[in-house]
A and B are shown apart, each in its own frame.
Chain A
């Protein structure tokens, strides 16, 4: 009986190619790979989080002049802003900046919109007292190198956002943000476009328009909550 079974088993039992060997190899290799990935992920996670936090912090400092301390606020379902001490990946967040003396300078608000190539992500600083945008930085864009990517580099274009009027009237902007041909800027709510990068310039104007319409009333309504984090 056992001889009979043995004879049947032997032709397919060559060690290099049995089904068991194939499955065993893949299982072992996958398990070791999984272990390696998880170990490296856990090991690098603190450094990666610190890198992202530092990049965001640097961006907030850049768009809100004179800031030395940043506090994160999240938008709650009832339309109020609440201070966020820990982390919350999914929450809609804005970043309030305070001076050395503890005074509120303004709020840095992330915004995004479709550009010429792909989504453009920016962060802009809003000064609720001046009712103006006081800085803008491109965080991520795939605009054409040498042309559209000037929206993040051209000092003249970025100068538009040193003081861009976004005063509120009722529930919207008193004057909608306008992108005008290079050199045609006359009003404080107009943006001078970059020659040769009209589409990217307009994309910035459009995404700022959409974001300000949504966020500025919220920021103004919640000024007391933002000022509550001032230190005296």
Chain B
């Protein structure tokens, strides 16, 4: 009866579970999920990494707990249960961040509590953690999380270098460089995301042709 018996034959987890989330099923570049934080707080590298870190912490912790309680959660109330678990970890993360650095906490602003509705997290809980043991769930969540950090960091790096002429707050081109402000404005986020998605699908297409 228990779904676990189906998996006892398989190894505890595979490298694929991990790598899938990072690249092949990248939550941002391939699944195009979690767009709200990716567009809104990727205007600098520091903001991107803070948002990435906070999201991954919530993702991994809630995946672990969802997997841990999966046998006791009746199907009818599973979404409600997952949301309570995710919301609790988001609240905890917000307090921790406010205690660690007020600057980062203020920079993330309203987007910190909005991690609750990041569909990457509920997606992992519903599609993976609720059906798999704890260890593979953590591995899968970490892989997906790294994929999210990779995406939001790339966005942040491109936008900060072009839009502010700096990287991690360190000026790159000297004081006389006039940065292209549009890249740190919301519109610039859409440009960069579009360009990255285009570049990645072009790259994949080329690889496919190369193999054929």
Contacts and interface: CB of A to CB of B under 8 A. Distances in A.
A22 B76 contact: yes
B76 A147 contact: no
A36 B185 contact: no
Interface in A15-37: 16-18, 21-22, 25-26, 29-30, 33, 36-37
A41 B95 contact: yes
Contacts, number: 67
Interface of B: 43, 69, 72-77, 80-81, 84-85, 87-88, 91-92, 95-96, 98-102, 106, 163, 179, 181, 184-185
A145 B77 contact: no
Interface in A144-169: 144-147
5 contacts: A17-B75, A29-B84, A30-B84, A33-B87, A145-B43
A47 interface: yes
Given A145-B43, A147-B181, 18 more contacts: A25-B69, A25-B81, A26-B77, A26-B80, A29-B84, A33-B87, A33-B88, A37-B88, A37-B91, A40-B91, A44-B95, A47-B99, A48-B98, A48-B99, A51-B102, A144-B185, A145-B181, A146-B179
Query: Max chain B CB contacts within 10 Å: which of A17, A18, A40, A47?
Result: A40
Contact count band on A: 20 to 34
A30 B81 CA distance: 8
Contacts of A33: 84-85, 87-88
A140 interface: yes
B104 to A, nearest CB: 11
